[in-house]
């Protein structure tokens, strides 16, 4: 029987896999797998099924930025309160609490440099608890979510070997 | 002019795989499930150590037996996996792939006329290496009804007073068969009773899917009669680094090292530094690869079941070995037609010994995606044969 971890390892890379195929690969009963998937979803372990897209190949305008944010934590709430105020913006794709030189890492997706700059100036920097921001734009993605975007796998082995 | 060639080498048949390789090369658009090496790249941290050793200028010979730290790591590894201790200074040495160790073991241990028991189907090099060492190869034909495991009866049938060595090629290429502890215990009894030595080729030991691999050296009385051969190629996807090792009693190792010292000098230094890293920090990589091989193994077996193609369930290596006897043609003919008609290359079972006739070896050292494309072609081919 495939463990939860095995199920997660597979669907993390291929969220489109069907329950039947999953059951073949793991040598487990189809119904069991279906139930396990349901449980994983219910428990919030599986939080969504996304698609990896290399937007740079589409010709559509997309800008990604990482913003280091220093904030003043609020009494009783720590960083959670301010994090929530930030992650509610739809253009924010990720928010992490960090150790080290700054507090929150905010990852943002926008259509243009101006749009991102506008967000930082008008929305982020003006929040009471935000002390400072440092914005970094992503110039090129080499690898994302474990997938190498710049190169195709090429099989260079001999065709037949003993 | 005199004939430049020796009779012994002329007497050895070229590998059956080679012949097939030439045909495949000429077939345009062919896809292959014929490869006997992992499709994964060597894990990056291992490659990085190799590169680092070059940067530091570690570009000299190592001792004949190999880097001391690598031998120590091999010793630790066998200890933690099999509970057997080998002295890294006298009982372990590093070779150019497991295949060099196979050759050396024969050359160090047999005299002219000694008989060597070789179970087949198995890797292509045991028989020629035994012949080159002037031994007489005696083939044991493994049977599908035993899941291609070796039985004590089969050994007893072939033992004579000239028999000196039993080759134990498990987990097996091409069948994927494994020997479990209970199977090995039966073999060990015969080996001790008949005073034989064992060359145990355990190159696929990390790739088993029904529990951990058991080595015959872990059984009582067997450590002193066994040459344990293993390497880095299959476990860590390091075929091109050409690195293996042999472990065994000090007196045998000393003689093997003697030949190695004159023929090879030492195994490649860069590879040895990389291998230290593999043994120290590679367990996680191996288990990830094993998990993925296992998915593919199950996928193929399920496909064969759908096609109605009989195939015993292999629990080791990365091969399946389905039976194609019902199509009424030889393995060679089957594979040639599969290649010509559907442009899919697999290896005829007969390349691994006469008793591999009627079977084909399919490697699953390919991504699931490629296996699916290949299985579409395969299904098309056999459904054509059936109608």
Average pLDDT over every residue of B88-92? 98
Q: How far apart (Å, rounded) are the C-alpha atoms in residues A43 and A53?
A: 27
Q: Report chain B residues whose CB lies below 8 A from the CB of A159.
A: 21, 24-25, 30, 32, 34-35, 345
Distances from the Cα of B134 to the Cα of B7, B11, B80, B211, angstroms = 12, 12, 37, 38
Average pLDDT over every residue of B313-320? 98
Residue A135: both structure tokens together? 């914005």
Distances from the Cα of B378 to the Cα of A2, A47, B338, angstroms = 28, 38, 8
Please report the pLDDT score of residue A2 as a whole number. Answer: 52
The pLDDT confidence band at residue A125, using thresholds 50, 70 and 90, is: very high
Q: What pTM was estimated for this model as a whole?
A: 0.94
- Is 3.40.50.1970 the CATH classification of the domain at B59-281? no
A43 touches chain B (CB under 8 A): no
Nearest to B17 among A27, A153, A160 (CB): A160
Average pLDDT over every residue of B211-216? 98
Please report the pLDDT score of residue A56 as a whole number. Answer: 87
Domain ranges for chain B: 7-42+284-386, 59-281
Q: Tell me if residue B195 falls in helix, strand or coil.
A: coil
Min CA distance, B89 vs chain A (Å)? 32
Q: Report chain B residues whose CB lies below 8 A from the CB of A148.
A: none
ipTM of the complex: 0.88
Q: Report chain A residues whose CB lies below 8 A from the CB of B291.
A: 6, 9
Q: How far apart (Å, rounded) are the C-alpha atoms in residues A55 and B145?
A: 55
**Contact partners, residue A136, CB within 8 Å, separation at least 6:** A65, A66, A67, A68
Q: Which CATH number fits domain B7-42+284-386: 3.90.1150.10, 3.40.50.300, 3.30.70.100, 3.30.70.20?
A: 3.90.1150.10
Nearest to B204 by CA among B245, B240, B172, B180: B172
Length reported for chain A: 162
Average pLDDT over every residue of B205-211? 97
């Amino acid at each position: 029987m495939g463990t939860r971890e095995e199920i997660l390892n597979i669907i993390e890379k291929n969220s489109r896999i069907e329950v039947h195929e999953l059951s073949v690969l793991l040598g487990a009963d189809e119904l069991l797998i279906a139930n396990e998937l349901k449980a994983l979803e219910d428990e919030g372990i599986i939080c969504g099924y996304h698609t990896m897209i290399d937007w740079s190949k589409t010709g559509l305008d997309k800008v990604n930025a990482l913003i280091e944010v220093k904030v003043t934590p609020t009494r009783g709430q720590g960083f959670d309160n301010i994090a929530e105020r930030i992650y509610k913006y739809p253009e924010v794709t990720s928010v992490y609490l960090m150790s080290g030189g700054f507090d929150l890492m905010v990852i943002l997706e926008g259509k243009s440099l101006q749009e991102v700059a506008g967000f930082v100036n008008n929305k982020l920097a003006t929040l009471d608890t935000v002390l400072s921001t440092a914005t970094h734009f992503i110039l090129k993605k080499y690898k994302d979510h474990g997938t190498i975007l710049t190169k195709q796998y090429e099989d260079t082995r001999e065709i037949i070997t003993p | 002019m005199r004939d430049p060639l020796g009779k012994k080498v002329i007497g050895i048949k070229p590998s059956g795989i080679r012949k097939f390789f030439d045909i495949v090369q000429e077939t345009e658009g062919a896809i292959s499930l014929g490869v006997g090496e992992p499709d994964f790249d060597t894990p990056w941290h291992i490659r990085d150590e190799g590169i680092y050793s070059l940067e530091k200028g570690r570009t000299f010979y190592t001792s004949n037996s190999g880097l001391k730290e690598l031998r120590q790591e091999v010793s630790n590894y066998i200890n933690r996996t099999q509970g057997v201790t080998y002295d890294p200074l006298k009982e372990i040495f590093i070779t150019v792939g497991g295949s060099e160790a196979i050759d050396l073991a024969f050359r160090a241990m047999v005299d002219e006329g000694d008989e060597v028991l070789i179970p087949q189907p198995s890797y292509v090099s045991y028989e020629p290496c035994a012949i080159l060492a002037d031994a007489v190869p005696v083939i044991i034909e493994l049977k599908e009804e035993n899941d291609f495991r070796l039985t004590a009866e089969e050994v007893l049938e072939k033992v004579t007073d000239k028999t000196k060595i039993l080759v134990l090629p498990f987990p097996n290429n091409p069948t994927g068969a494994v020997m479990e502890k209970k199977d090995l215990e039966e073999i060990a009894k015969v080996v001790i009773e008949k005073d034989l030595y064992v060359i145990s080729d355990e190159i696929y030991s990390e790739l088993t899917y029904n529990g951990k691999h058991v080595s015959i050296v872990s059984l009582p009385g067997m450590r002193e009669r066994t040459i344990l051969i293993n390497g880095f190629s299959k476990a860590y996807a390091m075929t091109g680094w050409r690195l293996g090792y042999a472990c065994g009693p000090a007196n045998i190792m000393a003689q093997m090292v003697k030949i190695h010292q004159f023929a090879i000098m030492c195994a490649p230094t860069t590879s040895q530094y990389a291998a230290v890293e593999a043994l120290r920090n590679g367990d996680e990589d191996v288990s990830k690869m094993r998990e993925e091989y296992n998915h593919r193994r199950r996928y193929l077996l399920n496909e064969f079941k759908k096609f109605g193609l009989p195939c015993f369930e292999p629990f080791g290596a990365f091969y399946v070995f389905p039976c194609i006897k019902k199509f009424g043609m030889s393995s060679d003919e089957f594979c040639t037609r599969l290649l010509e008609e559907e442009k899919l290359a697999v290896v005829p079972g007969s390349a691994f010994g006469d008793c591999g006739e009627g079977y084909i070896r399919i490697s699953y050292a390919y991504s699931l995606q490629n296996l699916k494309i290949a299985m579409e072609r395969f299904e098309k081919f056999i459904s054509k044969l059936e109608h």
